[in-house]
Structure 1
Amino acid sequence: MATDVQSFYKDKTVFLTGGSGFLGKVTIAKLLCTTEVKRIYVLLRAKRGQEMRERCAAWDKDPVFGNLMKTNPEALKRVVPCGGDCQEPDLGLSNSDRQVLIDEVQIVIHTAATVRFVEPLHIALAVNTRATRLMIQLAKEMSHLESFVHVSTAYSNCVVEHVSERFYPEHLTCPAEKILELLESISPELLDKMAPALMGKYPNTYTYTKALTEQVIQKEAKDLPLSIFRPGVIIASYKEPMPGWIDNLYGPIAVLYGAAFGILHITLLNLKAQAGIVPVDYCVNMVLTCAWNTARDTSIKLSPEPPIYNFTPNNDNLITWGGFRDKAARLRYTYPLTKMMWLPFLHCTTIPWLFRFTAIFYHLLPGYAIDLALRLWGKKPRMIKLYDKIHKNIDILAPFVITSWSFDTVNTRKLWAKMSVEDQKLYDFNMSSVDWDDYFLQALAGVRIYLAKEEPGQEVVERGRKIYKRFEFLHRLLQFTLCGGAALILWSILKRLLGSFV
């Protein structure tokens, strides 16, 4: 017998943006695996010479759909690509596609966004803010619309350290409407130059444009059945579509990856700060549940403002960045990489100058040595260029791993309580139930398989362990050599000083 959430999606037509992204693909997989959804329209743009239909057709080989294709090989036929681009006016939709969406769609899930922190303001505004306004305008024309879920971020209001489930327009230097007028009326170059003044206390264009987007929703979506979902930092899956699945190198996963390779040894990180990390499958489960609740809860339609759901670890199961590092470190021998370049270890500091000083010895000097060896072997040097990129990314991410935020999750907990026991099992997003030790075991296995592209067999793991032990011996030998050399130098200096007094 179908659950309440499953019954809601039966024979429904969904319009999904961001369907080719990390969150989007898991959303598609979950819908097709657990519901009898009629059709999923996905906004896609051509990419790198590949037409949108070719991109969609290639999904049957994507690991995220692997289990689905085994049980239901025809499932992806329910996914229909719509040519478009969130950066374009009118979302880049053709008139015919737009009319199809207006006539057929009942559920809108808007996940599309540019998550690059250093995105030029004119692009971030177009993709994150203007596109959401256009989505709202499109939704108002949909004759059968029942539910609209907008995916924001828990850090859209990062200028405050305690984030409630409400709007924060008071922190914007200028109303969203005026900023969007600037986007249309002045050159991109001039707008980008104005970015520091417009952003105020916001650390980057991503969080700033997400805050503007929420104000657009607050002002312009009052008559829509709409909810805002604010997830924390979305990382590898816990259980679905397979444990540890990940396809990108953003944020904390990049730290795990760099440390596992023995490349990253020092970073900016506040070990005492709360880590607002959430598994992608739990995010998807909550998005789908939000859509169900938005359609069924009449109080949402009567409310002057749409409900907001913060989604971060619950107070009874918090994890710090120190816990994140330590749990990963304890497992580094369990799933070692055969391609590691040195012994995996990671030191952390919150002091920028100390990070830069330590990076000279942990990153730059070894990097120059490796590049010199590569040149001597007739190969292209790459380590210093890689470390430059790593250090820039560390600087960009610093505000989010040094500051400790807390989040109210009252609405999220109320939503969980509304669900039946069957739906709670099928669409689990209860962060209190996450076993972080087990989670990191799955996440590191996923980093090894899906990012490092290593085979999952035990034979490969054993080979990695042998390499790990070899580098551990070399690391200890290097430490002994350096400490011994330093002691000899100090002893020599001390002897000279003592000799001068005799």
Structure 2
Amino acid sequence: MAVITDTGSKTEDLTLQQQNAKNLANIVTIPEFYANKNIFVTGGTGFLGTVLLEALLDTHPDIGTIYVLVRGKRKFDPNERINRLLQKPIFQKYNEKTLAKVVPVVGELSEVDFGFSDEILNELIDKVNIIFHSAATIKFSSPLRTAIKTNLTGTMRTIELAKKLKTLSAYIYCSTAFCNSNNRGLIIEEVYKSQFDPYEMMKMAEDDAVWENFTEEKCRGIIRDHPNTYTFTKNLSENLMMAEMSGLPAAIVRPSIVYGTWEHPIKGWVGNANSGHLGFLAGFVKGIFRTMCGRATSVIDIIPCDYVINSSLVMGWYVGTRHLNQPEVIHCTSGEVNPLTLSEFCDIMNASVERHPPNNFVWKPAAKLRNGWRYNLFFYLFHILPALVFIIPEKLFGIGMPQHTAYEYMRVFHKGTKAFDYFLDKDFRYSLKNALRVMSTMHESDKARYNFDSSQCDWSEFIDRCLIGLRRYYFKEAAVTTSWHRNYWKVFNILYYCGYVVLLAVIFGFCAPFLGLKVGLGLALLIWAFLIWL
């Protein structure tokens, strides 16, 4: 295991410049640091990016312009896209003057200078002080070339811009705790050296000849022990930062599985609920997703979205008020200080949805851990087949998940969870040494508002907030759980167990004509008992 370390920054003898920076850090609070700063954000229209924009507006009334990179699309006005984004509930407390600070700039992440005109590029070079880079293709199954261009080359473009800025105060890269998932045991907060040179990978992505007849086997030969192209290119991007950002105020934040917000800007904000594992939770609430694959004792390392944003803002302040020889790396994870096993996670979800059931669901929500053939058989019998049955009423009456049919959700879910199973079946542990050290330097006035210490999270309360957030913001249902919701659950619970009787009757109806009443009943009971166990 090769790790790129920073030995120079660990010396006990501070230079005069470092001591001055340290003294400055003891004076400047986080809101004061962001006052009058102009910021460039990539990934600002995604789930994390949207919460980041709100948090930036909330830092200080005098925060400067927030430039948001937006992809140019035909017949699509970027200003209209930003306007729609700013109409989300989390921005309701801001007036038009404040919201006007969020300005879209149209460009392509992987192009040189993002394809900006000279006028826009010069404006950014003159004015921008801080860069938050969170744009990425987060699909585990992305083609390697796409992942390299977006995750690696895109990072290079933001680094190039950072080096051109007249006044760079901080550069924050949102990576992932999974970028080192090809390793085992305790993952430390340092950059693990990639087996490939990031510059060579970027060159390869631009060579069309390389990608002719590029097979899955060739891809596997490149990413090797990485589980997918996402973690592979994220690790490459971190290596790129270590090579390019030496001596500059830069940091890498590595979140784990990001769920809804704990508290800020509102409790339980889940955005469009199709980011990462949140999609599973959305399907679970409606009774569509009913199983998970993994060991009961495996830790599912979840983290509230606002904790990720808080850690990013803190790191902007941290690196911007100190002299660093190398980028600072922190984990934003929970497994080491507040572990949640898969078994506990399922129990919490089941108890939470019973306390806060949605307005309607296609089946009683209940999640259970299964593995191997049991998981696969259950998935096809009780996920795919019911989804096919629900397509017709879904089309006619609009029952089920918004925007997609139940069957489409099943297909996407199965593909996504298969990729996620890798992370739920391994012993991944993430050190928080650097993160805890950074927390200790925070001002008392900042510790509550910009908290990202997951040891304080009550997971049962957190899942409650996420489920209520899904009901309110994603499914557009009631935010308050009423007696009607509880009575609806009780009625559906009775129907659920009545369904066991109906299932037995259906199986017996198939068996009896061929095997007779006695044998047919016996076989029906065996099949029925097996399905109940399954």
TM over 0.5: yes
**Structure 1 residue 319, shift from structure 2 partner:** 1.4
What is the aligned residue count?
Answer: 482
Contact kept, 8 Å, 1:266 with 1:362, in 2: the verdict is no
364-373 vs 282-291, greater mean Cα deviation: 364-373
Q: Does residue 206 of structure 2 align to residue 184 of structure 1?
A: yes
Q: Does residue 98 of structure 2 align to residue 65 of structure 1?
A: no
Q: Does residue 102 of structure 2 align to residue 79 of structure 1?
A: yes
**Structure 1 residue 385, shift from structure 2 partner:** 4.3
Question: In the aligned structure 1, how far is the partner of 2:293 from the partner of 2:212?
Answer: 33
75-84 vs 448-457, greater mean Cα deviation: 448-457
Contact kept, 8 Å, 2:310 with 2:451, in 1: the verdict is yes
Question: In the aligned structure 1, how far is the partner of 2:396 from the partner of 2:336?
Answer: 55
From the superposition, tell whether residues 496 and 179 of structure 1 become closer, same or farther in structure 2 (CA, over 3 Å).
Answer: closer
**Within 5 A, what are the aligned runs for 1:470-485?**
470-482=491-503
Q: Tell me, what secondary structure is at the counterpart of 1:316?
A: coil
Q: Tell me, what secondary structure is at the counterpart of 1:309?
A: strand
* Counterpart position of 2:359: 338
* Counterpart position of 1:225: 249
* Counterpart position of 1:449: 472
Q: Does residue 377 of structure 2 align to residue 357 of structure 1?
A: yes
Question: In the aligned structure 2, how far is the partner of 1:321 from the partner of 1:496?
Answer: 36
From the superposition, tell whether residues 314 and 417 of structure 1 become closer, same or farther in structure 2 (CA, over 3 Å).
Answer: farther
**Within 5 A, what are the aligned runs for 1:375-386?**
382-386=405-409
How big is the alpha-carbon RMSD for the aligned residues of Structure 1 and Structure 2?
2.7
* Counterpart position of 2:532: none
Q: Tell me, what secondary structure is at the counterpart of 2:105?
A: strand
Question: In the aligned structure 2, how far is the partner of 1:126 from the partner of 1:372?
Answer: 40
Q: Tell me, what secondary structure is at the counterpart of 1:195?
A: helix
* Counterpart position of 2:232: 208
From the superposition, tell whether residues 117 and 456 of structure 1 become closer, same or farther in structure 2 (CA, over 3 Å).
Answer: same
From the superposition, tell whether residues 428 and 384 of structure 1 become closer, same or farther in structure 2 (CA, over 3 Å).
Answer: closer
Kindly provide the CA deviation profile for residues 159-205 of structure 1, in whole angstroms up to 9, marking residues without a partner as x: 113311111115x3x22111111112234743853422211111221
* Counterpart position of 1:287: 312
Contact kept, 8 Å, 1:105 with 1:144, in 2: the verdict is yes
Q: Which amino acid aligns with 1:56?
A: I
Unaligned runs of at least 5 residues, structure 1:
498-502
Question: In the aligned structure 1, how far is the partner of 2:295 from the partner of 2:115?
Answer: 42
Q: Which amino acid aligns with 1:288?
A: L
Unaligned runs of at least 5 residues, structure 2:
1-26, 524-534
Q: Does residue 118 of structure 2 align to residue 55 of structure 1?
A: no
From the superposition, tell whether residues 64 and 191 of structure 1 become closer, same or farther in structure 2 (CA, over 3 Å).
Answer: farther
Question: In the aligned structure 2, how far is the partner of 1:133 from the partner of 1:375?
Answer: 45
From the superposition, tell whether residues 356 and 496 of structure 1 become closer, same or farther in structure 2 (CA, over 3 Å).
Answer: closer
* Counterpart position of 1:325: 346
* Counterpart position of 2:221: 197
**Structure 1 residue 270, shift from structure 2 partner:** 2.9
Kindly provide the CA deviation profile for residues 437-472 of structure 1, in whole angstroms up to 9, marking residues without a partner as x: 2211111100111122213245xx444333322321
Query: Which of residues 300, 307, 312 is equivalent to 2:328?
Result: 307
From the superposition, tell whether residues 113 and 239 of structure 1 become closer, same or farther in structure 2 (CA, over 3 Å).
Answer: same
**Within 5 A, what are the aligned runs for 1:399-478?**
399-458=422-481, 461-478=482-499
* Counterpart position of 2:303: 278
**Structure 1 residue 373, shift from structure 2 partner:** 7.3
From the superposition, tell whether residues 283 and 496 of structure 1 become closer, same or farther in structure 2 (CA, over 3 Å).
Answer: closer
* Counterpart position of 1:500: none
**Within 5 A, what are the aligned runs for 1:147-158?**
147-158=170-181
Query: Which of residues 136, 144, 148 is equivalent to 1:113?
Result: 136
**Structure 1 residue 34, shift from structure 2 partner:** 2.5
* Counterpart position of 2:31: 6
* Counterpart position of 1:268: 293
Question: In the aligned structure 2, how far is the partner of 1:471 from the partner of 1:188?
Answer: 56
Question: In the aligned structure 2, how far is the partner of 1:356 from the partner of 1:217?
Answer: 41
Kindly provide the CA deviation profile for residues 18-40 of structure 1, in whole angstroms up to 9, marking residues without a partner as x: 11111111111112123121221
Contact kept, 8 Å, 2:280 with 2:413, in 1: the verdict is no
Kindly provide the CA deviation profile for residues 80-138 of structure 1, in whole angstroms up to 9, marking residues without a partner as x: 22111213333222221111111111111111111111222222111110011111111
* Counterpart position of 2:322: 297
Contact kept, 8 Å, 2:249 with 2:320, in 1: the verdict is yes
From the superposition, tell whether residues 183 and 341 of structure 1 become closer, same or farther in structure 2 (CA, over 3 Å).
Answer: same
Contact kept, 8 Å, 1:314 with 1:432, in 2: the verdict is no
Question: In the aligned structure 2, how far is the partner of 1:257 from the partner of 1:496?
Answer: 39
Question: In the aligned structure 2, how far is the partner of 1:495 from the partner of 1:441?
Answer: 43
192-201 vs 331-340, greater mean Cα deviation: 192-201
Q: Which amino acid aligns with 1:322?
A: S
Contact kept, 8 Å, 1:261 with 1:337, in 2: the verdict is yes
Q: Tell me, what secondary structure is at the counterpart of 1:135?
A: helix
Q: Does residue 71 of structure 2 align to residue 45 of structure 1?
A: yes
Query: Which of residues 222, 230, 236 is equivalent to 2:260?
Result: 236
- TM-score, normalised to structure 1, is 0.89
Q: Tell me, what secondary structure is at the counterpart of 1:328?
A: helix
